[in-house]
Chain A
């Protein structure tokens, strides 16, 4: 079992969701996140001064999959979230020890449908 975390442009969220759905991945968690890095924050204007907002807003997905879905998921995100501009985001994958479905008590790969 793997956990795929992907930080993407919020504007690409719907497209990524559809692309994952086409690969039968219909179950994930997502968050509105703030980040800071090479890009600096977004440029804002208020009362005569231009300033750095201090952060960039992004959406982060957290997807739990079986090993054989990992490639498909990464592929779907890479295609749907790519604009070619700086700031398209990152995907990182880590291994999981255990997953438990609270309602069914099923464990690991059986607990998720993908």
Chain B
């Protein structure tokens, strides 16, 4: 009898260990998928810029992921997950990485401390990559990199802590599953501050109206979007933070349905508005659908996911026209994809979210979260860009802009 009990306990312990291994493994796979998104951003942005600025945009993308991961190791992770000051605005658990005593066991989480760090680190650089596309073709390299260091190591983890680090927004019941607001609209607000202070590319807005500056490679842009869609299975699927069969598979379904619906939404509205079948619009529509579903991928019905994605896709052409009307020049549509659809997706949780205990006024809570994080991030980014603008300058000179930043900043060509 005693033996049987011992055997049962051993079997249970083994089963728990197997589950821990499976959970941890899925998080690591998801980490790799999120890593692939950086290739997606790089190809998308490269495709949407002119061929004279391709080295520059790729250089920025290479540096951003390096800066993002290193600063996240140095301070970002411990700013975002301080494990203290719960319900507060700010916490910091010290520089560097210090695994806690139980950090490699299920007592820590369904995954190890190392997995926790590396999964979150892959997310971090995304907020700067979003900015990089919007300010492309005219921003000076070094001031931009200085902005990135400050943005990703201070601004992003502080607002991230408000929700994911058990801060004040979390305590209020704000919901942002994988970061429509915390990652995407944060990047979008940074991008908006950047393009306001930079001004439009030369020749984009003329007396005769808008003169488009077409991207140099639609195949590259398309590849980028499909790579991002591919990586999003990790971005959202990994954000379940375990290999829970039901939740992870639901998230796969909602995520990909929203992406598909985003393309269709952008297709119809861009055709109605512009009378053309515009590839760049349906590519942005797919991304808009993905950004839109990110806040509620685990907590909305399948039909709601389709609606959220469809509306996000419809918002894309409207938003692109809106920013163009304000003469805010965004070569890749980052503000429309990440800011507009990030806000929409976060608010959509307040409309479509299915929770066991739906707190009253979830929509208002979502709105407060969007506005609070928006206000902090936009102010931070605006101040940093402004100081850089009045000190070292953020825009390349006119001659360099015409010649291209590849020759101006790097003395090299993408297509030699």
Contact = CB atoms under 8 A, between A and B. Distances in A.
Contact of A45 (B211, B274, B321, B333): B274
A49 B209 contact: yes
Interface residues of B, number: 17
B324 interface: yes
Interface in B160-216: 209-212, 214
A47 B211 contact: no
Contacts of B211: 49, 51
Interface size class of A (residues with CB under 8 A): under 10
A44 to B, nearest CB: 8
A48 B214 contact: no
A85 B140 CA distance: 48
A46 interface: yes
Contacts of B276: 45, 50
Contacts of A46: 212, 214, 278, 280
Contacts of A44: 212, 214
B391 to A, nearest CB: 33
A44 B274 CA distance: 12
B28 to A, nearest CB: 38
Contacts of B320: 47-48
Contacts of B317: 48
Q: Among the interface residues B212, B278, B281, which one has the most CB atoms of the partner chain A within 10 A?
A: B212
A49 B320 CA distance: 11
24 contacts: A44-B212, A44-B214, A45-B274, A45-B278, A46-B278, A46-B280, A47-B212, A47-B278, A47-B320, A48-B210, A48-B270, A48-B274, A48-B281, A48-B317, A48-B320, A48-B321, A48-B324, A49-B209, A49-B212, A49-B274, A49-B324, A50-B274, A50-B276, A51-B211
Interface of B: 209-212, 214, 270, 273-274, 276, 278, 280-281, 317, 320-321, 324, 333
- What are the 6 A-B residue pairs with the smallest beta carbon separation, nearest first? A45-B276, A46-B212, A49-B210, A46-B214, A49-B212, A48-B274
